[in-house]
Amino acid sequence: MATSKSAKIQAEIEKVKAKITEQQARLKELEQKKMEAENTEIVDIVRGLSISLDDLPALLRTIQAGGGMGQSVPKAADPNDKEDTEE
């Protein structure tokens, strides 16, 4: 009887391992699909910009360095901002 009980447990273990393997494969597939979707979105965004292919690397370096895109306009002082008025 002990052998029968352990055999059932072993069968359950094998069943769970098979499900885990299946789910790991599914996870890998979903991660790949997500990466492909993100890459497609990035390409669509870049293509939507009116920038030449020659200028693109410089723009990306500027963004990576922390520079902004477009014109830089100073922020207007907020009259409700208490930091500037409390001294």
Domain containing residue 2: 1-32
Number of other residues whose CB lies within 10 A of the CB of residue 51: 13
Asked if residue 87 has pLDDT above 70, the reply is no
What are the Cα distances from residue 67, in Å, to 1, 16, 40, 58, 60?
73, 51, 24, 11, 10
This prediction's pTM: 0.57
Residue 45 lies in a domain: no
**Residues 17-64: pLDDT tens digits?**
999 999 999 999 999 999 999 999 988 988 888 888 898 898 889 989
What's the domain count of the chain?
1
Position 28 in a domain: yes
**Residue 82 identity (one-letter amino acid):** K
Identify whether the C-beta of residue 53 lies closer than 8 Å to the C-beta of residue 46: no
